[in-house]
Amino acid sequence: MINKPKQPAPLDFGHPPETILCWKRLAREALSLSSTTPFYLLSAQPIAEKISKLDESFIAAGFKSEIKNLKSPIGFRHFLSFKTQPVAPLLRWWQGQGRSIEVVSEFELRAALAEDFEPEKILVNGPAKHHWLPKFELINLSVNFDSPAELTALLPLAKKFNWRCGIRILTCEEFDPEAPQFPTQFGFASDEAVVALKKLLRAKTRVETVHFHLRSNISSVATYERAVVEVAAICRAAKFSPRHLDIGGGIPVQHILTRGGKVYDGEFGLRSFAKMLRQSAKLFPNLCEVWLENGRFVSGGSGVLVLKILDVKERRGLRQLICDGGRTMNALHSLWEQHALIPLTEHSDTEVLTAVCGPTCMAFDQLARIPLPRSLKAGDHVLWLDAGAYHLSWETRFSHGHTAVWWHDETGLRLARTGQSFENWWSHWV
């Protein structure tokens, strides 16, 4: 159960002061180089910090890191969830560390190959990939099959190209978050999974992996544990002992609230999570690695959305800031999440209830309705934090073009994508 927040500061939602100062410094630097807003500001540093926290927890639990040569029979491996933040500089930064990547579409696979990821570093997930994956003749690719039809269609290619095969299992812990009485559309049901594993074993393929992915923001370690136990039972029924246990993603984000004001990560501990997985490894006698595909937890805090106030209105006791970006184009998550929203410059005057709105002609286009300083005016900038996960994936061009993207890493700050011009916005029509 998700608990109540621990009384976060009114605007920063518990972000450390140094984090906010860092984002403000980078935003000012980007604005000094180009006055065009809105833009996404992305940084590799928060991603590195999240990976480091996961590494520390797993190593403390007795796992062997994929990077550090530690003496342990079981390791763990991070896969970059491409769909979460589809940004070329991020892929290059990640690839430079020798890490692996997870893709779920033809375009994502093509991009990974274009950025020099070797096939043995690429994991292909997602449904209905038998309609596009045959276009690629890649040796030693990792592929998790999603359905009986997909398995039948791709099995000859798996044998021909020596794919490292696995199946995705629909556990009882996976369901549609909006309608929990129904399952999601992904993976094999338990009885199908047993049949599929036996089929792969009879075909003498390189079948090595079982995979599940529950959903985003899992609030309890016990949920993962029940899923692992269920997957182990399926493996026993199929007389299959996997080398890799792919648990997908789902570790809950920090510093973000539900629309009802509750935190997502209140009961989830990384140390207890890693310890549970290390103990559960005993259920899989030949296990060599646990695979992690955390997207939102890893990259959610790696970006901010920088907006400029264009107009100010006041009516019926509500102050309204009309900005050049908002929910419709840039931050669909604001429909169900509350993120910290802070002015770029300090304001010490009285706070009043304020709606922060985007520029589109939709009442839906409202980023937040929170107390903000009355002195905020047209021309001022505000930062919407934790905009690093799925925001670019779900970005729209509603009456406007795509925004600019700034990227920051060890080499400094640079413009990674220019704002979309009218010519580019309109010229794709034939």
Q: Domain map of the chain by residue range?
A: 17-41+301-426, 73-294
Max Cα distance, the chain (Å) = 72
Answer for the pair 54, 290: CB distance below 8 angstroms, yes or no: no
Name the residue among 190, 191, 209, 86 with its Cα closest to residue 141: 209
The top-level CATH class assigned to 73-294 is alpha beta
What residue type is 162 in one-letter code? N
Dist. CA 215–CA 178, nearest whole Å: 12
What residue type is 216 in one-letter code? S
pLDDT tens per residue across all 430 residues of the chain: 344 444 434 467 889 999 999 999 999 999 999 889 999 999 999 999 999 999 999 999 999 877 665 567 899 999 999 999 999 999 999 999 999 999 999 999 999 999 999 999 999 999 999 999 999 999 999 999 999 999 999 999 999 999 999 999 999 999 998 899 999 999 999 999 999 999 999 999 999 999 999 999 999 999 999 999 999 999 999 999 999 999 999 999 999 999 888 889 888 999 999 999 999 999 999 999 999 999 999 999 999 999 999 999 999 999 999 999 999 999 999 999 999 999 999 998 899 999 999 999 999 999 999 999 999 999 999 999 999 999 999 999 999 999 999 999 999 999 999 999 999 999 989 9
Upstream peptide bond of 38 is cis (omega within 30 degrees of 0): yes
Dist. CA 305–CA 34, nearest whole Å: 15
- Give the pair of three-digit tokens for residue 385: 């934090």
Indicate the fold that domain 17-41+301-426 takes in CATH: Lyase, Ornithine Decarboxylase; Chain A, domain 1 (2.40.37)
Answer for the pair 83, 94: CB distance below 8 angstroms, yes or no: no
For the stretch 43-46, contacts whose Cβ atoms lie closer than 8 Å and that sit 24 or more positions apart, written own/partner, are 43/302, 43/303, 43/407, 43/408, 43/409, 44/90, 44/93, 44/302, 44/407, 44/408, 44/409, 44/410, 45/302, 45/408, 45/409, 46/299, 46/301, 46/302, 46/388
Dist. CA 173–CA 281, nearest whole Å: 19
Dist. CA 27–CA 32, nearest whole Å: 9
What backbone torsions phi and psi does residue 30 show, to the nearest 5 degrees?
Answer: -65, -40
What residue type is 50 in one-letter code? K
DSSP string covering 94-161: HHTTT-EEEE-SHHHHHHHHHTT--GGGEEE-SS-GGGTGGG---TT-EEEE-SHHHHHHHHHHHHHT
